[in-house]
Amino acid sequence: MTLSTDQPLLRRIVPGEVAGPSEEGAVTVANPCLSGGSVEIFLEPRVPAPRMLVVGDSPIAEALVDLGRPLGFDVQLVAGEQARPAPGDAALVVASHGRGEEPALTAALRLGVPYVGLIASRIRGAGVLAALDVTDEQRSRVHSPAGLDIGGRTAAEIALSVLAQMVAERRAAERHVPAVPTSGVDPVCGMTVAAVDSSPHVTVDGTITWFCCEGCRTAFLADPARYAAAS
């Protein structure tokens, strides 16, 4: 939850039963171990800034850099032939006035970069898209002309419209991300554990079961039916 929302979280682990709901910004879980004891862990995520590749050296490209960085993007300005999109990139925007457009767009689309935009007129943009060696579905993902229709005329106004469209799509995608459980209950000992890859776990019939340690995981695998109700 902390990483997905970029919000800090106080996690309390207490002995015995948890009395009442946790207050906002905190999660309290029970520790069934006989040793007892309490601990508080403050989690504050430090998530790297999403990378945005801007292709070109036009005034619009420079405006995208100036406006994108205050919005929290790691904006990198590159020439078309030097564009190297990566799967984790947030966006690629081409504003190069016809130089190095197709290779950069093609690479970004094939990698599934969430936002791909082309700064061009509708007529020229249609010609560029038609020449791309990608599927029709991939081609349809290109925003051309890129940006929301705010009547922008200057380089800064056009850059603002592109960034506004990027932010709107990112937030819309976040609203539709299915909730992922952040914790699970070890069916062997009853302890609440973090549902993360580093915690011991096993998948049986499509259901993931989490454990506090390898010993509980081994006990479960020896007789899964015994713990089926608890998991």
Question: What CATH number is attached to the domain comprising 127?
Answer: 3.40.50.720
Among all chains, which residue has been given the structure tokens 């915690």?
199
222/139 same-domain check: no
Q: Could you tell me which residue, 208 or 33, shows the higher pLDDT?
A: 208
Tokens in use for 87?
A: 């799967």
149/209 same-domain check: no
Confidence of residue 174 (pLDDT cuts 50, 70, 90): confident
28/80 same-domain check: no
Structural domains in the chain (count)? 3
Tokens in use for 113?
A: 């970069």
Do residues 158 and 119 touch, judged by C-beta distance below 8 A?
yes
Tokens in use for 13?
A: 């682990």
Report the distance separating Cα 107 and Cα 20, nearest Å: 52
pLDDT > 90: percent of the chain = 43
Q: Name the domain boundary from 13, 30, 45.
A: 45
Q: Within a 10 A sphere around the Cβ of 220, how many other Cβ atoms?
A: 23
15/55 same-domain check: no
Which pLDDT does position 33 carry in this prediction?
65
Among all chains, which residue has been given the structure tokens 């564009």?
83
Do residues 156 and 67 touch, judged by C-beta distance below 8 A?
yes
Segment 86-94 mean pLDDT? 92
Confidence of residue 51 (pLDDT cuts 50, 70, 90): very high
Tokens in use for 85?
A: 């999109």
Confidence of residue 100 (pLDDT cuts 50, 70, 90): confident
Tokens in use for 44?
A: 């504050």
37/65 same-domain check: no
What's the whole-number average pLDDT of the chain? 84
Confidence of residue 156 (pLDDT cuts 50, 70, 90): very high
pLDDT at 125 over 60: yes
Which of 5-9, 43-47, 133-137, 204-208 shows the lowest per-residue confidence on average (mean pLDDT)?
Answer: 5-9
Report the distance separating Cα 85 and Cα 82, nearest Å: 10
206/156 same-domain check: no
164/58 same-domain check: yes
Report the distance separating Cα 194 and Cα 23, nearest Å: 19
155/98 same-domain check: yes
pLDDT digits (tens, 9 = 90+) for 137-149: 999 999 999 999 9
115/171 same-domain check: yes
Segment 172-200 mean pLDDT? 76
Identify the domain containing residue 231 by its residue range.
181-231
pTM: 0.62
155/186 same-domain check: no
185/95 same-domain check: no
3/38 same-domain check: yes
pLDDT digits (tens, 9 = 90+) for 190-201: 878 878 777 888
Which pLDDT does position 228 carry in this prediction?
73
Which pLDDT does position 222 carry in this prediction?
86
pLDDT at 1 over 50: no
